[in-house]
Amino acid sequence: MIGATSSAEASRRDGVTSPGTPLLDIRNLTVAYAQAAPSVQDVTLRVEPGEILGLIGESGSGKSTVAMAALGLLPRDARVTADRFDVCGVDLLSTSSRQLTMLRGSSIAMVFQDAMGALDPCMRVGAQIAEVVKRHQRLKGAACRREVLDLMSRVGLPDPETRARQYPHQLSGGLRQRAAIALALAGKPKILLADEPTTALDVTVQAGILRLFRRIRDELGVGIVLISHDMGVIAQTADRVAVMLDGKVIEQGTVENVLLSPETPYARKLLESAPTLDTAKTRTGADTSDAGVRNSPPDRADLITVAGATRCFRSKGRRVTAVDEVSLTVKQGEVLGVVGESGSGKSTLAKLLVHLDTPDEGALAMEGIEYAKLGSRARRFREAVQMVFQHPAGSLNPRLKVGTSIREPMRSVRAMNRGEAGDRVRELLREVGLPESSEHRLPHEFSGGQKQRIAIARALSCSPRVVILDEPTSALDVSVQAQVLDLLDRVRRQHDLTYVFISHNLAVVRAVSDRVAVMYAGRVVEVGDGETIFANPRHWYTRALLAAVPSTDPRNRDDPTDEAAGVDGRARTPAPVSVDAAACAFATRCPQAQRRCWTEVPSLTVVHGGQQVACHFPHLESTTEPFEDSTTAGGDRTGRVSW
C-alpha cells in the first residue's frame, strides 16, 4: 500500500525535479491483491518532460492499474512493490498520505475517460476549476478568476465566461472533456495521465482533443501518459509507446519503431486488428473469401423505406429537430452504415427504424406496410426487427441470468415451452461463441466483449430479418472489436440478415458496410456505395469527417499548432452552428458556402453512379483544394465565404 513515513529529501518531497530527472520513473513495479496473481508485474516505464508516452493493451492488461498506482489511488488491500517508483522526484513508496494528497494536482493529475463522471454535476464548471486553482496555486479573488478563464481559453473552450457559469450537463461531450482537461491542469501539474480520453468522442472532436494534448506537451513541457486502445490516437499523439499484456510491458520504444515494425506477435496482432481507412476494404477480422453483399446490386428489394421522416423534441421551451425530412431505403441482405457526429440524429433514426419511437411527419414502411398501420401485425414486426445497443451492460438486466434475458423476447412473440426455449438459448450461445453454461451466470460475470455477444444472441433469439446495431463496438478493444465484427459478419451470412450499422468509427463502417448514409444536423447529406463514398466523397461534411480520422502511420501527423488544419492541411470540423431553417445546416462550416446556401436547403440529388448528395456545390474530381473550415477561416453569411 502506498503511504507510510517519508524519508525523501526536501526537493524530492516537494516534487521539484532537477534537470535530467524523469517526471515518472517506474522500475519493476508489481501490484497484487490478496492471494490473486499480480495484476501488474515487473513494469518499468519512464516519462521525460515534454514527452507523450502511449500505453496500449487490451482491457485487463494493467494499464489503468499503473495509472492508479502513480496517483496513489489503489484500494487499501493492494500490495505495491518496486525497485523505484518516483513521480516528479518524489518516492511514492515512502511518502506520507498527506504529502501524496498535495502531490496529486500539483505534480500529477489525471484526465478520465468519462468526463461527466469526473466532473461534479452539482457545481458550475468554473467553480470546480477555481477550487483546484485556490488549493494548488494559492490564488484568490480576481486573480483566481483570471486564471480560471485563461485555463478554459487555453484548452479551447469557446466563450469561457459563459462556459464557466454552466453545469457539466449543459456542455457537449467534447466541451466536457476540455473542461476536464482544464480541471486537471489547474494545479499546474508536471505530468498528466489520460485514461482513454477520446474513446466516446466523434472523430472531429477527438482530433481537437489530440491536438490539445500535443500543445500542452509543447507549450507547457508537461509529460503525458496517454492510455488508449486506438492505434490511430497513439500514432498521432505519442512520442514513445509501451505495449502491455497480462500485467507486463512486453514491448516499448519510439512510436515509429513499435507501430511500424513491432517485434512481438501480440503487438502485431493489435495493429492488424485495428481497422483503418486504408486497410478496411476487407472486413475487419472476417473471412474475406466470400465478399457477401458488398456493393449491393440494384435488383435487391427494398426492405425498409423511410419517406420524409421528421422527429422533433422540446428542450427548454425550444423545438429541436433530431431527424429532419430523412428519406432512405434499406435493402434486403445489405449492411447500411450510418455515420455522423453526436447530435446528427443517428440514434433517433435507429429508434424510428425499430419502432421504439414514431415520427412527427413522414412515414416508415416495411415491405410496403407502414409502421403506423401495423395493427395486429405489430408482434410479427417485433420479431422481424431487433436492436443491439451500444452499452450491453445497460441493456441487459443485471438481476437476470443470461439465459433468462435471451429467453424473454422469443417467448413474448411466439408460443414455446420451457424445453424448446432452453434448447434455443443454448444454440444461440454456441452460435455467438459462448459456452452453454453461460446461461446460468449474471451479466457482471462477463467481459465487455462477452456482454456484447450476449446482446447479439438476444437480438437473434426472435429470428429477425433486420438488426439495428447502434455503436456495437465503440467501447471494445481493437482485438475484441475485430472478433465481434467477425461474429456479426458470420451471423449475417448464415441467416441472410440485413444490418443498419450505426457508428462514428469510419474505419469500422468502411470495413463492414455495403452502402453508407452520412447524417448531419438531422439530415442525410450523402448516400451511396460505401467504397465510392470513402474513395471520393462529394459532400464537404463527409470530406471533413474523413480528414479527421487519425492515421495509424505516425509519419502522417497534422500540425498541433494549427487548430483548423489536419493532415495535408485539411480542416477538422467544430460543433455544428445553428442556422435558419431555410439554409443549409452546414453553411457555417463549408468552404464552398455561397449566397444560395443561406437561402435554400439542398435536397438529395444523384451526382454520379447512383451516389446522392445534398449539396448545392458538391466536390468534383477536378477540385483539388483541401478542405478548410469556414468557422476558423472566417465566413460571410451574405455571400461567398471570405478567408
Residue 576's nearest CA partner among 642, 514, 638, 629 is 629
pLDDT score, position 410: 83
Backbone angles phi, psi at 115, to 5 degrees: -65, -35
Task: Determine the average pLDDT of the residues in 221-247.
Answer: 93
Query: What are the pLDDT digits (tens) for 585-627?
Result: 899 889 888 999 999 999 999 987 778 999 999 987 644 444 4
What is the pTM for the complete model shown?
A: 0.80
d(CA 3, CA 598): 63
Query: What are the pLDDT digits (tens) for 444-468?
Result: 888 888 899 999 999 999 899 999 9
Query: What are the pLDDT digits (tens) for 561-584?
Result: 554 433 233 333 344 444 556 789
Confidence label for 633 from pLDDT (cuts 50, 70 and 90): very low
Query: What are the pLDDT digits (tens) for 10-65?
Result: 444 444 555 568 999 999 999 998 877 899 999 999 999 999 999 998 888 899 89
Cα-to-chain-centroid distance, residue 179? 18
Query: What are the pLDDT digits (tens) for 259-292?
Result: 999 999 999 988 887 777 766 555 444 444 444 4
pLDDT score, position 354: 93
pLDDT score, position 551: 85
Confidence label for 552 from pLDDT (cuts 50, 70 and 90): confident
116 touches 169 (CB < 8 A): yes
Burial class (CB in 10 A: 0-12, 13-18, 19+), 628: buried
175 touches 163 (CB < 8 A): yes
Percent of the residues in the chain that have a pLDDT greater than 90, as a whole number: 55
69 touches 29 (CB < 8 A): yes
What is 425-472 written as a DSSP string? HHHHHHHTT--GGGGGS-GGGS-HHHHHHHHHHHHHTT--SEEEEEST
Burial class (CB in 10 A: 0-12, 13-18, 19+), 199: middle
Confidence label for 629 from pLDDT (cuts 50, 70 and 90): very low
**Mean of all residue pLDDT scores within the chain:** 84
Q: Pick the residue with more confidence: 112 or 318?
A: 112
Could you state, in order of their start, the residue ranges of all structural domains in the chain? 118-188, 303-535
Task: Determine the average pLDDT of the residues in 236-261.
Answer: 95
pLDDT score, position 619: 87
250 touches 74 (CB < 8 A): no
Homologous superfamily in CATH for domain 303-535: P-loop containing nucleotide triphosphate hydrolases (3.40.50.300)
Start-to-end C-alpha separation, the chain: 58
Task: Determine the average pLDDT of the residues in 548-554.
Answer: 87
Query: What are the pLDDT digits (tens) for 472-495?
Result: 887 777 778 888 899 999 999 999
Which residues touch 333 (CB under 8 Å, ≥6 apart)?
293, 296, 300, 496, 497, 498
| Whole-number Cα distances in Å, 500 to 58, 144, 520 | 27, 50, 17
Helix 203-220 / helix 540-548 crossing angle, nearest 10 deg: 50
